[in-house]
Each structure stands twice: as structure tokens, then as C-alpha cells.
Amino acid sequence: MRELGLELPPVATPVAAYVPSKIVGNIARSSGQLPFVNGELGVLGKVGAEVSLEEAYEAARICALNALAAVAQTTGGIDSIASIIHVTGYVASAPDFYDQAKVINGASEVLGEIFGTGGKHTRSAVGVAVLPLNVPVEVEIVCQIVKIRND
Amino acid sequence: MRELGLELPPVATPVAAYVPSKIVGNIARSSGQLPFVNGELGVLGKVGAEVSLEEAYEAARICALNALAAVAQTTGGIDSIASIIHVTGYVASAPDFYDQAKVINGASEVLGEIFGTGGKHTRSAVGVAVLPLNVPVEVEIVCQIVKIRND
Amino acid sequence: MRELGLELPPVATPVAAYVPSKIVGNIARSSGQLPFVNGELGVLGKVGAEVSLEEAYEAARICALNALAAVAQTTGGIDSIASIIHVTGYVASAPDFYDQAKVINGASEVLGEIFGTGGKHTRSAVGVAVLPLNVPVEVEIVCQIVKIRND
């Protein structure tokens, strides 16, 4: 990641009765991650209305890094992640915004940059009505981990 | 659960070609559950419009109990559930309602009450346009079970 | 499938940094599939507005076949699929359309026709604001496979 100029962000503390990530067997999941950067959210609103495709792409990239950080914290580091299995990308969308796939490419592409072939994942991208705290994008990931750390 | 004053509700029969829960290996999943109580739905509509945050929180709690009942029916009882892995919470939302996380806390918190540490799960909460039968909340859970009962 | 008059469609190439399906252990997942038929999308828009329930049911059926084709391509054929575990069905919905379950029955029922008892799956059906390329339905599946082909 250093070569890519990327670093894992600190993991946000959930504001509720859940955890940022959990491992069962060789599968680790993240909670749905919002585009927090240093505890601050960037642009808010619906993509195709208040938020541009470019801004939403960047938000998806941030969400993916936050999801990766959440998983890495539980697995004992990013080297414990063997591959990315699945990405679910929720895009808060204006009713006539149809480029959810291009938005969630922000998540898929950064995972590809970091993991190469292991970053190839299945994915669903959908356009929802609204997201928590009015963020434009939320991303959840499922990963395969190298070693079973707990169950 | 008795100490908490909680009991598992009866499992609603799906109105379609699917099942309330399924086990593969040591993982059990529920179908997305609606807030049925004795076959009746309570308040209907979008949260932030016809439905209040408090009503939606209670609906999420009911959905979680229904999901747990669905899984317990398949696993042979709630004692077969070792932990809650993941919760997906869909909130039918008015376009300016941003407290999906507080709504789905209704699900997360009741699971925490019942399972303690084992109830700690990852979670995604999203605001969708509309849900089946106009319910305000739908909740799906993934659980880790103690024993493999079938595969 | 031949007896049912069904055949698996060709698998659409993802337009982004992800793959149509992926296997880890004995679980195979599809990406969210759109109702492409020979590279063409049919009716577009929201169900309950531009798109009828019947058209959306048919779109869900097509999405499920596309998802199955995606998984079969990775597992080495449809005979490698032991059962369908889970279906997530996203329905782009007019705000007063409440029959998402009936739409996603198009997916559930075709999987039941093909796999019989093994086709019984858990499911979530939700009504989202809008879907990629303005399609009315998107379907994602999780399958149990007979043999571990890779991990």
C-alpha cells in the first residue's frame, strides 16, 4: 500500500450496538462503512443532485479503505487478508441517476490496486433513497483471511 | 430470554418460493423479516414521514426477534446459535430522514441483550425507497451455529 | 434445465473492476445481475410506474438465470451447484409500490424449478430508489457448491 501512496485510516467507533468487523472461520466481514476521513464526513446528499459522480467515486474509495481498515484491525493486519470476496455498494441516488456502477468502481478499483488478483470480487451496486447521516455512499466488504484467528 | 421478558415469536410462513432460514455448514441465515406480530403488521409507511423514529426502532426490534425465531426453528432452538455474525437493516425512509442507524439499533440492541458478547455483529443500515407491504423496516441476519445440523 | 425449456445465458462481462462470480470454500457468489438478454436490457424504469408487476417478475427471472450462469461459469457447470443459499432482490420501485415480494418470486420460482428442494433459499426483497442503467430489478445469489474448485 505504501507504494501506492495509500494508508489505512483509523477505524471509526460504531455509534451503536455493533462492531466494525467480525471473523468467523476464514471469512471476515466489515460493517457498512461511511466516507469518514479523520472523523469528518465530506460532501453530503444524493448523487446526481447535490453530489457529483466524481465526488461519489472518491467517497466510495474512502468507504472501501475504511472497510479494509475495519477488517484489518480484527484480523491482525492487512497481510492477513487473502482476498476480497464481495462488495456491496449503496449509493444515495437522485431518481434519475443511473451510474451506481461507476460510483462503486471507486471501491472496486482501490481494492484491485491493493490486492491485485486477490482483489477481484463479486459486487452489487444499488441506488438507495437515503443513507445514514445523509452520506452519498456506504460500502460493506466480505474478505477471505489467511488464518483463522478466532471463531 | 425469559429473564429479559422476551420470547421467540412463531415463524411466519413465507408467501413465496423461499424459506424462513437455511443452514450451510456452521452458518445459518434468515430471510429478510418484516415486523409481523401475531400475523399483523403494525404501523406502515416511511420513517420520517408516516412513521416516527421510536416506532421504527420498535419495528426493527420485532424484525430481529422474527429473524431469530426463523433461524432457531431451523437450527433446533436458540441455544444452537453461537453468535450473530451480520445484520442488514433496510429502513423505508423519507428522503430527508438520516437516522437509519438509530432505527436499526432496535435490532442490534435486542440481539445484544439476548446473546451478550456473542451478539456483537457487523451491520449495514440503509434507507430504501419502499419495502414489501409498505412496512417501515426489514431485517436479515446471518448467524454462527454451534453444531452442523445439515448442509 | 432442458426439460424445463430453460438454458443458461452467456455471462455478461462486468464493466468494472469486479468479476461475475467467485468461489471460496464451498460457497459461490454472483455479482448483482441485471436483466440483460443477449446484451440488451428490456423495459426500463421503476416498477409501479413505467414497469408493470408482470414485466418486473419476468426481469427477476432473467436476472436469476444470469446469476446462475455467472456462478456456473466459475464452478465448472450447473451440476456443480448443490443448492441455492440466498437471494437478494432489489426492485427499483415507485414510492407506492409494495409488491417487491411478488416481483422477486420471478427469481425464486425459476430457481425452484431448476433445483427442486435444493433451490429452497432464504431471501430479502427490497424496494430501492433506482438501479444501475435504470433497470427495474437486480438479483444477487449465494450458492452452495458440490466440490471445492479453488479458494
pLDDT in tens, B24-52: 999 999 999 999 999 999 999 999 999 99
A122, A142, A143, A146: which to substitute to probe chain C, counting the most C Cβ within 10 Å? Answer: A122
d(CA A102, CA A57): 7
Please give the sequence-ordered ranges of beta strands (E in DSSP) within B31-150, or none if there are none. Answer: 36-37, 40-41, 81-92, 122-128, 137-145
Q: pLDDT-derived band of residue A59, with 50, 70 and 90 as boundaries?
A: very high
ipTM of this complex prediction, to 2 decimal places: 0.92
CATH of domain A21-145: 3.30.1330.40
Q: How far is A15 from chain B (nearest CA, A)?
A: 8
Q: What does the pLDDT read at residue B59?
A: 98
Q: What does the pLDDT read at residue B16?
A: 64
Asked if residue B57 lies in contact with residue B103, where contact means CB atoms within 8 angstroms, the answer is: yes
Q: Which residue of B has its CA nearest to A23?
A: B85
Average pLDDT over chain B reads: 93
Cell numbers describing residue C67: 446469476
Give the CA-trace dihedral at A129, B88, C135, C47, to 10 degrees. Answer: -70
Q: pLDDT-derived band of residue B147, with 50, 70 and 90 as boundaries?
A: low
- Whether the CB of A138 is below 8 Å from some CB of chain B: the reply is yes
Exposure letters B101-125 (e unless 16+ CB within 10 A, then b): bbbbbbbbbbbbbbbeeebbbbbbb
Report the percent of chain B where pLDDT is more than 70. 95
d(CA A121, CA A84): 6
Of A92, A112, A126, the CB nearest to C17: A112
C124 to B31: CB separation less than 8 angstroms, yes or no: yes
pLDDT beyond 50 at A106: yes
Average pLDDT (B116-143) is 97
Of C16, C131, C134, the CB nearest to A105: C16
Interface of A with C in 16-75 (CB under 8 A): 26-27
Of C100, C120, C144, the CB nearest to B132: C100
d(CA C73, CA C15): 17
Cell numbers describing residue B139: 431485517
- Whether the CB of C105 is below 8 Å from some CB of chain B: the reply is yes
Q: What does the pLDDT read at residue C149?
A: 45
d(CA B23, CA B81): 11
**Nearest of B63, C23, B28, B127 to residue A122 by alpha carbon:** C23
* Residue C44: Cβ-neighbour burial (10 angstroms; 0-12, 13-18, 19+): middle
Average pLDDT over chain A reads: 93
- Cross-strand pairs, C127: B130, C91
Q: What does the pLDDT read at residue B149?
A: 45
Q: Which residue of A has its CA nearest to C16?
A: A105
- Whether the CB of C148 is below 8 Å from some CB of chain B: the reply is no
d(CA C14, CA C22): 13
d(CA C32, CA C90): 9
pLDDT beyond 90 at A1: no
- Whether the CB of B128 is below 8 Å from some CB of chain C: the reply is yes
Q: Which residues of A touch B122 (CB under 8 A)?
A: 18-22, 29-31, 140
d(CA C149, CA C151): 7
Average pLDDT (A69-75) is 94
Average pLDDT (A96-111) is 97
Q: What does the pLDDT read at residue B32?
A: 97
Average pLDDT (A124-129) is 97
Q: What does the pLDDT read at residue A16?
A: 64
The angle that helices B53-75 and B100-115 make with each other, rounded to 10 degrees, is 40
d(CA C89, CA A78): 32
C138 to A128: CB separation less than 8 angstroms, yes or no: no
Asked if residue C137 lies in contact with residue C63, where contact means CB atoms within 8 angstroms, the answer is: yes
d(CA A100, CA B4): 43
A121, A124, A141, A148: which to substitute to probe chain C, counting the most C Cβ within 10 Å? Answer: A124
Q: How far is C135 from chain A (nearest CA, A)?
A: 9
Q: What does the pLDDT read at residue A5?
A: 81
Per-residue confidence in pLDDT tens, chain C, 151 aa: 888 888 888 887 776 679 999 999 999 999 999 999 999 999 999 999 999 999 999 999 999 999 999 999 999 999 999 999 999 999 999 999 999 999 999 999 999 999 999 999 999 999 999 999 999 999 999 999 996 444 4
pLDDT beyond 60 at A151: no
Report the percent of chain A where pLDDT is more than 70. 95
In what order do the strands lie in the sheet containing A27-30? A21-24, A27-30, A137-145, A81-92, A122-128
Asked if residue B8 lies in contact with residue B110, where contact means CB atoms within 8 angstroms, the answer is: no
- Whether the CB of B102 is below 8 Å from some CB of chain A: the reply is yes
**Nearest of A125, A8, A7, A132 to residue A74 by alpha carbon:** A8
Average pLDDT (A72-88) is 95
d(CA B138, CA B104): 9
Average pLDDT (A127-146) is 97
Average pLDDT (B60-87) is 95
Q: pLDDT-derived band of residue A8, with 50, 70 and 90 as boundaries?
A: confident
